[in-house]
Structure 1
Amino acid sequence: MANHVRVKICGLTRTQDVSGAVAAGASYVGLVFFEKSPRHLSIDAAASLAFEVPVGVAKVALTVNADDAMLDAMLAKVPVDILQLHGSESPERVADIRARTGLPVMKAVGVASAAELPALDAYSSVADMLLVDAKPPKGARLPGGNGLAFDWQLIAGRRWAVPWMLAGGLTPDNVAEAVRLTGARQVDVSSGVESAPGTKDAEKMAAFVAAAKGVTGCPTI
């Protein structure tokens, strides 16, 4: 029996990418608000895309160390379901954003070694969800979306107080192995389903979702 793995496709920039992600079976779609990213959207562009997302698919806004003014401006126009904090936000800042906005918050934590694992425990007490991502290399311009994976054995069998999602270098070719090794019930992909930075490929999105949802024999939660 196949697992009920939920897929987030992040960094959508075009209407056809939204429809492709939805048609593929994505449970979440991600909109990026970070000017250094090739997937960055203006608030107006993001609002237009968000209204294309059908009910039942969660709209996630990815921000990086955003201040209150930016969050207020974005949320005034974009109908968002979840905030994804992908910067160096402290646990206190995560709790503050969650309280101020009234929205569920997903905190991304970059992992390269066992040294980063305690941070996941710290954030699990203030966030509604964790995104376990690959730690960006030193000097990287982007905090995520770099197409890098980490050693999945580091989190094999680990669980936290809140739901979590696996990210970092996932592709249609390796997502099944990642799910089997980690027991992840949620996975996030961006560059792994693109034909060019910021341009999603409908066939790759469909293949990714099918591979993620088709895994059998995972440990159960």
Structure 2
Amino acid sequence: MLVKICGITTPEIAEAAVHAGADFLGFVFAKSKREISTEQARKIIAPLPEHVKSVGVFVNKDTKEIEHIVQETGIDFVQLHGEETAEAVKNFSVPVIKSLPGTTDGLHIAAQYDAASYLLMDSPPLPHAHGGNGIAFNWSILKGNHFTDRLMLAGGLTAENVAEAIREAGPIGVDVSSGVETDGEKDPDKIKAFIHAAKQQ
């Protein structure tokens, strides 16, 4: 089971996630309390071991601007959380993770994004947030979908419910941010517990 810890903002938390067994670390380049600068991200990404992949998270940002950040930071994947078209996904120099709402409509739309390396089914967006809102959805609607080999799951996951979510949805990976935080800050113990619970499946 692949595990992505998203919203990394410090070298210390990145190191804790790596030691706990994370496969992906997410860096948010969008308006968020977890937003990070290009320079900060570059410093955290540079010493990462090769097997841990860095992911830049973007919301409706211009392709050229994203590509500039890719080159400046060395991120391995681009994660798109906005209204990017299936055609736009083909225009990047690194693999793409496309986030879609965990709804029946989201499942239908997913079929269009054949160029995405992973499809991240997340909580349906709130008026002020494109995913990343820490709310779970009905995981069972994802069961038996035709893109299981590239399905990642996000939205309200914690160490306590991730095993159930994996059984219900059958993803190849899971993505967490607020579910491994205490008082709005990443918690190394929660990161460790989450990764352990996910990789037991």
Same-fold status (TM-score > 0.5)? yes
What is the aligned counterpart of 2:78 among 80, 83, 86? 83
How far did residue 22 of structure 1 move? 0.5
Q: CA deviation at 1:194?
A: 0.8
Matched-pair contact (CA < 8 Å) for 2:98–2:120:
yes
Distance 1:63 1:196 in 2: 24
Please show how residues 1-221 of structure 1 align to structure 2 within 5 Å: 5-34=1-30, 36-95=31-90, 97-98=91-92, 101=93, 103-111=94-102, 113-123=103-113, 125-137=114-126, 139=127, 141-160=128-147, 163-197=150-184, 199-215=185-201
| Structural RMSD (CA) | 1.4
Residue 190 of structure 1 aligns with an amino acid whose one-letter code is S
Q: Are the equivalent residues in 1 in contact too, given 2:53–2:77 (CA < 8 A)?
A: yes
CA–CA separation in structure 1 for the residues paired with 2:64 and 2:87:
18
- Which structure is higher in RCO with an 8 Å CA cutoff and minimum separation 6? 1
Structure 1 segments unaligned to the other structure (5+ residues): 216-221
Structure 1 residue runs of 4 or more that deviate by more than 4 Å after TM superposition:
none
TM-score, normalised via structure 2 length: 0.95
State the aligned residue count. Answer: 201
- Counterpart-to-counterpart distance in 2, 1:88 and 1:80: 21
CA distance in 1, matches of 2:196, 2:149: 25
* Residues 45 and 155 of structure 1: CA distance in aligned 2, closer, same or farther (over 3 Å): same
Aligned mates of 2:171, 2:200 — CA distance in 1: 13
**What amino acid is aligned across from residue 48 of structure 1 in structure 2?**
K
What TM-score, normalized to structure 1? 0.86
Partners of 2:148 and 2:188 lie apart in 1 by 34
Q: CA deviation at 1:161?
A: 7.6
Quote the sequence identity (%).
Answer: 40
Equivalent residues of 1:128, 1:162 under 8 A apart? no
1:87 partner amino acid: G
Counterpart amino acid of residue 111 in structure 2: D
Deviation at 1:162, TM superposition (A): 5.4
